[in-house]
A and B are shown apart, each in its own frame.
Chain A
Amino acid sequence: MNRRWRIALLGLAGICLTPAIWRVATALPRFGEPSEQYGPAVNRLGPALRHVSNMVSAVNFDFRGIDTLGEEFMLLGAITGAVVLLRGARGEDLTAKAARLPGRQVIGRAESTILICRLFSPAIMLFGLYMALHAMVTPGGGFQGGVVIASGLLLTYLGEGYRGWRRLIASPVLAALEGGGALLFALAGLAPMAAGGAFMQNVLPLGTFRDVFSGGLMLVTNAGVGLAVTGGFGMLFLEFLEETRATQSEDTR
């Protein structure tokens, strides 16, 4: 189809759909006046049942833990796919150490950039760690904290340049973090079954309400997610940044 036909057909479909969208939108409960039962029930029963104050984390890691397990492994799958694609295209075996390959182009960095990155990168990584640890009491958790830590790693790349970055980042470590985190999560689900409970049943002591170490098994699953997300995003950044240098095939020309 050429572009004009395409847009015309799209417009026609849009016109046919507009009344339907109107009907559905006006029939939905008014914004701000929801009719749910699940959410209020969690809010009502959660704190007492699990001693945590962050209900979002409680839903993610306990009430709907199996969902998060699936999402976690989806993350793993997508990152594995991207890594295989990028590494394979560069003609590298997955265990090659990229820093050994010559031909690295050096881009100059301003001193202010280096200073700010050196100041902020550890601070951001610490902040990410704080976020991940305080999953049960304040907004945060493994997902958010892991992504923040990984973004701190990016600042390291900006500040230290490629050589410093590669000295800090070892790809087997990141792969182990990623796989290990996911494995920890899966085992946290299987272990309660060995103790006679259900899959991912919260059998650990629940701690006191509003304490950082409340929530029992949720702490373990949260740690698993944090590790996996950090490792995963770190690997992703690593592989994408590897694209910015000359590849092996170009070097040996």
Chain B
Amino acid sequence: MTVLPWFAAAWLFAIGIYGIASSRNLIHLIGCLSVCQSSTYVLLLSVGYRWGAAAPIFYDHPPGTMAVDPVVQALVLTDIVVGATVTALLLAMVLQVGRKYGELDPQKLRPLVARAHR
């Protein structure tokens, strides 16, 4: 249990990378990118956790009670919301690719097309 979160984070990142590398559909690729992103959240939140500590919201318990790290929670919180909007931007791009090209397979998507040998 003492090292499990670190390996969980590493595994999530690895599986996300594998998903991106082997993906056959752009929407799946973006989902895998989100998986990679969530691995960083797991890492950060696990770094801040403390056994037997309360939430860093001193409403029900008085200030001075042992609480977990609020800094990493603040970092992750804003990052999740912003990550959602970047995913939205990516999905908008994918939408246009699907509409203009009719093809969503990243293996077939090349920005520039090689011209024939003249």
Interface residues of A (CB under 8 A from B): 3, 6-7, 10, 14, 21, 24-26, 28, 30-34, 36, 38-40, 42-44, 46-48, 53-60, 64, 67-68, 71, 74-75, 78-79, 81-82, 85-86, 89, 137-139, 141, 143-144, 147, 210, 229, 232-233, 236, 239-240, 243
Contact = CB atoms under 8 A, between A and B. Distances in A.
A136 B114 CA distance: 58
A158 B40 CA distance: 34
A21 B10 contact: yes
Given A36-B48, A71-B78, A85 B96 contact: yes
A31 B59 contact: no
Contacts of B49: 31-32, 34
B77 A143 contact: yes
Nearest to A74: B82
The 8 closest A-B pairs by CB, nearest first: A39-B69, A25-B6, A32-B51, A55-B70, A55-B56, A47-B63, A78-B85, A59-B74
Given A31-B4, A56-B73, A78-B85, 14 more contacts: A7-B18, A10-B21, A21-B10, A31-B6, A58-B70, A60-B74, A64-B71, A67-B78, A71-B78, A82-B89, A86-B96, A229-B81, A232-B85, A236-B85
A229 B51 CA distance: 33
B95 A10 contact: no
B: interface residue count bin: 35 or more
B94 to A, nearest CB: 10
A24 B91 CA distance: 34
B77 A60 contact: yes
A64 B14 contact: no
A85 B93 contact: yes
11 contacts: A6-B21, A34-B47, A36-B48, A39-B69, A48-B63, A53-B58, A78-B82, A79-B89, A89-B100, A236-B85, A240-B91
B73 A71 contact: no
B72 A39 contact: yes
Contact of A81 (B22, B51, B89): B89
A233 B48 CA distance: 29
A139 B57 contact: yes
A79 B9 CA distance: 28
A138 B58 CA distance: 8
A147 B67 CA distance: 26
A40 B6 CA distance: 22
B109 interface: no
Interface in B81-118: 81-82, 84-86, 88-89, 91-93, 95-96, 99-100, 107
